[in-house]
Structure formats: C-alpha cells, structure tokens
Structure 1
C-alpha cells in the first residue's frame, strides 16, 4: 500500500516558514522542554512525516509537535493507528477550494480595510524578529565599547519590552512567538550584564529573574546558557562562590553545552574563574585545561549566536585565567595570561582591554615592580578609568596598594598626578 502524502503538514510548514531541518530542531527543543530529554529528530524525520511514511509519530513527538504548532496532531494531517486516512480530494477540486479560500480571504480583507474606524490586524513575522536581532547586535557592540553603563542597561530593558509588546500587536506563528520571547530574554540578559558590569547587583538580579522566565517561554537553549552563565559571574563578583558555582553548573548542564564544545569551553572557563575566587587551586587548573581542550575541539564554522561570537575566544579564556590566578595570588602566572589576553584581543573589545590592563598592573605590582605596574595602569583610557565601575574601583585599589608599597617612589607621584586629572575641579 502506497503511503499517502501529508499535504496538511507541508502546507503548515510552508505557511510558517519552516524547513525540514528547522522543524526538526524546534520539535527537539520542545521535546526537551516537555520531557527533559532532547529529541533525536533531523530533517529526514520530518521528510518521513511529510511523505506519509510515518502516519502517527510517537507520543512524545506528537506532544512536541503540538507544542510547536499549537494544533493537535490530527489537525496536522497525522492519522491515529487503526484509522484509514481520508481519501484526498481530486487535484482540480483542491485547487478550486484553495482559489475560493484565497478569493474569499482577499474579499474579507478588502471589506475590513474599507470599513471606517477599523484596521486589519497586523501579522507579526520573522522580519520583525530580524529587526530586533539587529538591535541586539547594536547593544552587544555598545557593551563591548563602553560596558556597565546605566544607559546600556536601560536601552536593553526597553528593547526587551518592545519585543514583548509585539506579542500583542498581531497574529504570529508559534515559531515567531518563540523567537520574540528569545529576543526579549536576550535584551534582558544584556541589561543584566550591564548592571553586573556596573556593580548594580540588585538591578542585575531583578533583570535575571525576568530574563529566566522569558528564556523558559522561548525554549532557546543558547539564551538560557547566557543567563545562567551571567548569574555565575554575578555571584562571583558578589563574593558568593557557592551560588556562583551552582548557577554556572545549570548553564553547563544544558544540552547545548554538551553538544557544542565552544559553549562547554565557556562554561568551564567561568567555572575555573569561580574556583580561583574560592581558592581552589587544583579545581582551577583542571577546569582551565578542560576549557582549553574544548575550545580546540570546537568547529569554527558552526552556527552560534552573535553574543557568543562577539566575545568568547582565546583572549577571553586568558582573561578569565588572569582573573583566577590573580585571586589565587599566583601573580607570575596571572601576568603571563594577561599578556596573552592583550595580544589576542580584537579591536572592538575596549572594555575587556581596560579590565585586562588593570589586572595586569595589579599582578606586576604584587611582584614588586612598581614602575612597570604604573606604566601599565597609565595605558587604561581615561573614560574607562572614570566611567566603568569595575575598572575604576580596581584602579583605586591599585593606587592604594602602590602608595602602601612605595609611597615616596616616582611611580607613586606619577600615578597621583595622573589621577588628579580625573577629578572634577571644585
């Protein structure tokens, strides 16, 4: 008996812009949300559904399909076992029905448009998502240039609200709605990071809670990873290593970190930085070795979100190593990683360069080289030194340590004169 092609599913996929691979990925993600286990479907699975070779998928797959489409499996053209599929209509009659439906729809739209005081509801599509994603790229770029600014935090939060408002602005497919929630979660995670970077931790935690809820509604593994990984960094900066490790472990336990070595590498690198803050020397070294190995295994051509590609590379791995070894009091090793970080940083990483320079200055000063340390600190741009909370506080600590170690040295006098220019005139 020849299989009857599932034209209903094909029509739904065409209407909502799904390829076979795209629908398979959406079903896999939905299955993980619903059952805790990532689905094993690929494009060939969906082609088997369309061809009618699989007339009634397994229950977990049906639940995931219903979650993605918002329709029962029978409304997608699937036929329960033991039933005979309906005889397809003759091609010409189907074409006539489609034509009548199209004409009727056009007429209804024209009547609605002509009616005074009414307007046809707007259809929200992937073009709206693409526009928001371009705005997200702008927020990422601004963060790497300036970092920690209240304006970045407020702008990102406002864009999150804009993404959510689109949910109520018109009709949209489940795919579009999921993407809108992912956009909103992305913007909130950027607001969270800006607050962390600016040491506004209460605000960061508020953004975190909203971002986590939005990420769950989106089902987007990458943005879930970003939020929980940010939470680990936040608690590390707050001096709460137990909470930091627990949050980072959530990120590392996501399927995307098991599937993509680059995500695994970032999770391990941040784990090592947390372990450094917790004075766990053995754990720090082991995690960094594993992070480096995972980075080397990562496929450079694989698709990854813009936020990850914009910052995570060998330079960032060395920056996290610099932070960890500085916390451990291993200043020579910290200096080694600082130089490796600075030599590999991409030009747009302005904030990261300022942070690496301040940490390098601390490492050099702790080794007794006040002159070299001061020369390094002088390289930090004035706007970063005065406007970025983490940089400015670290430089204040550097100045205090310099005056304590070598109060009458030329380096101390040079630093005092240099920082005097940052203070506003009375």
Structure 2
C-alpha cells in the first residue's frame, strides 16, 4: 500500500538516480560476439595505409597506384559545376535524388563508348556505381556464399580480395605467365565448379601483365564450357603506351553470343582516366544480372551522386579523347624512366615486368627476400615506399615480390628512388 498523496511512478531521489546510471553504465556490449561471422574476413588495405606516406615530402613513393592530381581536368570540372549552379532548375535536379540505374545521359554515353569497343548494350545493361570497387563488392554479394569457390590469378588485385573475402569464399589461385593466366591451372580450377573467374586482362594491377588475344579466346572457351562467368575489371585498359589495343573480354563474349553480353560481367570506371574522388564507375552485364545489382544498389545507397554523374557526363562528352592523349604521354614517360633505372641499377637475380601500359611494374627478387621486411628498411633507411607483393596473393605467398607504381612520381625522382631501392636489394637476400 502507498501512503496517501504518493505516486507509484514518483522519481527516486537525485542521488539514487545517479546510482542507477552508474550501475547501468557498467554493462558493455561484447562487440566481438555481436559481429557477423563474415567480419573476420575483412582486413585493412596495406595500400590505403601506405598512401599516408605520400604526404611526407622526404618519401619517394612507388606505393599508391593512383592518378597524378597535376593531370586532373580540374578546369573542365569546375566549369561544369559552375554551369549547373547558374540555373536554379539545373541545380535543383543535380542536388536531388535520382533513379538507381544512373543519370540517363551518362548511361547513354557509356552505351556509345562500349559500342565503339564492340560491346552492344542497351540502357537496361548499364548500372552506374560508386567507382568500379562497388562493382566488385556487389558481385561478391550477388554470387558468393560461404565456402563457394572463386578463381583469381596469382597475383591479383588487392581490392578485389577485400571485396570478396567478407562473403567467405574459397579461393582457387592460378599462376600467370607472360601471356596471362596459365590455362592448365585454369582448366583444373574450373573443374571444381567455381562461381566465377575474376580477371584484370589489361595491364593488370599489380603485375602489369596484359592477357594476349589468343589467351583471351582460350579463357572464354574454357569458362563457357564450364558454365563459369568471367568478371572483367578494366580500370587501366585506356592507359596503353605501346602496341595495339586488344578487344575486351566483353566484346569477345558479345561476338560469340549473337551480339549480346552473356557470360561476362564488365566493370568500368572513370577514376583512372578522369578523377577518382567523384566515384563514378559502371557495370555492364546481361539485363537479368543488372536487375539484381540495381536492387543491391537501392539497398546500399539508393544511387550514385546525381551532381557528380551530371558533371562527369559533361566533362567526358567534351574532353575524354584529348585527356587520354595527355595521360598516355605523361605516364609513358614515367614508365620509361622506371624501366631505364631498373636496367641501370637492379642487381643480378632481380627481374621485372615491362608493361605496355597501366601504372605498375612488378619486381621479383631472389628467394629469401621478404618484401614486408624490405619495405620497413626502405622507409627507414632510404625514404622509399612500395607495396609488398604478398598483399596481392589470396594465399599470402609471393613474399619476394614488390609492386612499384610510377604514376605520381616525376622521372628524376623515379630514377633516384629506384637507385636507392636497388642498393637495398643488393643486401636484402
């Protein structure tokens, strides 16, 4: 019974309230127990961490495979944004929500661009994404279940491993030769009924290898026979400095299937050819695949930035071809500087690739050299940074390999950085 005049919901005295708060605050969540099991497959990007070194002026960095900001088409981008904000109606549309599939004029431009490369698609075969990295993440979500087998090359793009690993796949890593993935190993992997084969066919990140035309046909022959789709990642295909452009895997797939994109999922991006910060990429695939990816995009972030898509369309419509000529000239000079310096300074037993394009040179040091240990020495003793090659192996092999990027370093610095690195390599084994 309560005494007359009291209420059952009366507040406790102030000191008692503070005591209750203190007692409650002692209970904490065991986040390790709450996290989903797939979180264990998520790892930090060694490249993202190494990018922090670029801001240190004393470091000669071969670490980040990023475009040179001095080459960004900043004026064209600024004019495009200014044009949008000169019109109230234009600004309103650019700052508003948009359809998930992407800004229609940009998708139409992508259709024309891909058509010029032999990939004939309609609007229903295009989804604009937040960079091609989002394509990889969506592919993982769409196709990989726990324990499912997927085929990757050894080495392969680190960002792909990061995108796929949370979905708990079993990796089937196949070696590469100078023409691309080794076909005997690929055939054996395909016999294990994997979900897909992920491939960077042009100037691969990390080793700069370009898959030959004959090998592209052989890969499609094998994958088609096994009923295994190919995920084609083409971030670097426009950055060719020598030789002739090869047909896309997607174009060969269309050629085999009556003009329709059937067994290849194609990921494209403007990050390496225009600017990365606008985060505009795209995926081309059969409409039934794109329809599923659209649902994932809706759930993930509704759509890519409307204003960035409008600006990107405006810029590429005006300067895409001329800007590519500038990039190819500048990056070719830097690639040549790196290859010349390696020819001059590399010690016996060290080999490297000679890519026809892209942003990377791949070094293989003698057995016994540990790239991670060498990196620690290189930063401390020589003010040089690179990425240890083991980061690009699903099984963490390749400890004696290094990836060198030449895109943001001027030729004179490249020469000096290679000289310093090669001095360390002489004593590393």
TM-score (norm 2): 0.28
Per residue, is there more strand in 1 or in 2? 2
Which structure shows the higher helix fraction? 1
Higher relative contact order (CA 8 A, sep 6+): 2
TM-score (norm 1): 0.28
Structure index of larger Rg? 1
